[in-house]
Amino acid sequence: MATGWPQCSAIGALLVAVITACSSGNRPARGPARTAVYYSPEALPTLNAGSGNANAINGVGDIVGAISGSSGEMTACVWSKGRLRMLQVPVGFAGSNAMAVSNGGVIVGDAFAVDSKGTSQMRAVAWHGTAARLLPTPELFRVCGADGVSGSGVLVGGGSRNLVSTGFPLEWRNGRVQVLPTPANDGGEADGVSDSGVVVGGVISDIPARGMYTRPAEWVGGRLKLLPMPAGFIRGKAKGVNRVGDVTGWISKGKDVFESRPCLWIRAAVHVLSLPVGATGGQAHGINGRGEIVGSFWDTKHSLRAFVWSARSGPYDLNRVAGGGQPDHPVYESANAIDNAGDIVADGAAVINRRAILGGYILHPKL
């Protein structure tokens, strides 16, 4: 783990107090007294009390994800100021999912279908308003999805020739698709992109005696850079990047997902983040311009729970600061994105009419 703290972002000076070293386990780092931020939860509407998920939020409060439609398939949607709008499913496809949205309102994700022969197909999609447009795919690719979009219109994601073959990171610019570079014989996937065009994700390698492993990576100007991992960590992935280039994601010492740890890269330095007390492992999914990070962790029962982390406050189980776990509140399982105002988009499970219903939520920080 790096010991020097670069001065490239506002959170650098605060990190010393709260980030634990790799050997320190899950106990919060000692430092200044922490002040928790509390949140007011708001359930995102669905159709006929169906299920849903919320994946991303932009700078003007638009939230994108998917809900179960009239056919039972998940269908991409957007929530704007609490109002639900369904996004068009491309002709010939059964369902869809929206994964990211730019400040300009461009939404990206995927559409999926199974043909008469039982062959699965997935295509990357961009929505302008509610109208869908299939994105171009590399030759012979049958599976593609878009996971990120920048303010300048750069789209990123991944694709492969089929559902079981190794995928490759993709980037769309000006209506054209290109496969981003990876080491020879390796694949990969791009998960996010900043407004300055920094792409983050992972490189997939087939390591002898270990099998398939993902390593965290970023692409700047189309050039690949493998992100460092502390000694003993062998796999990981970058999931989010903010406007100043701080990158978050996860790393692990083995194949067991419960061994993973959320982390933060600032320039060339990697820092392992502390987790809420009782966590056995966790992963970071998103980061905002203030360096606040959200994700999910596993407790001692291997149950999934959502967390928020900041350099000033450290890690908190969102179920403890947003009313979750009470009889009339859902259990927040994953925090997927956070905007610059601190609003968090999360997925949670609530019991409705004796049924557990998965749904999307927005958690507003109490000032």
H-helix or E-strand spanning residue 224: strand 223-226
Q: What is the pLDDT of residue 72?
A: 73
Alpha-carbon distance of 19 to 24, in angstroms, equals 10
The tens place of each residue's pLDDT in the chain, 367 residues long, gives: 333 333 345 555 445 444 443 333 333 333 344 677 899 999 999 987 789 999 999 999 999 999 986 667 899 999 998 899 999 999 999 999 999 999 999 999 999 998 777 777 899 999 999 999 999 999 989 899 999 999 999 999 999 987 767 899 999 999 999 999 999 889 999 999 999 999 999 999 876 656 778 999 999 999 999 999 999 999 999 999 999 999 999 999 987 888 899 999 998 799 999 999 999 999 999 999 999 999 999 999 999 999 999 999 999 999 999 975 556 689 999 999 999 999 999 999 887 666 668 899 999 999 7
Q: Which of 363, 286, 353 is nearest to 50 (CA)?
A: 353
The whole-number pLDDT of residue 9 equals: 52
Which tokens sit at 307? 């967390």
What does the chain come to in residues? 367
Cβ distance 249 to 211 under 8 Å?
Answer: no
Q: In angstroms, what is the C-alpha Rg of the chain? A: 20
* SS3 category, 15: helix
Q: Determine contact, residues 70/89, Cβ cutoff 8 Å.
A: no
pLDDT computed for residue 355 by the predictor: 67
Fold assignment, 12-365: Methylamine Dehydrogenase; Chain H (2.130.10)
Pairing outcome for strands 120-128 and 39-43: unpaired
Tokens of 91: 């002709």
Reduced 3-state DSSP string for 115-131: CCCCCEEEEEEEEECCE
| Per-residue DSSP letter, 239 | E
Query: In Å, how far are 117, 139, 185, 224, 362 from 182, measured between CA atoms?
Result: 33, 18, 8, 7, 36
The span from the CA of 24 to the CA of 229, in Å, is 16
- Which residue type sits at 327? P
Distance in angstroms (rounded) separating the CA atoms of residues 209 and 119: 31
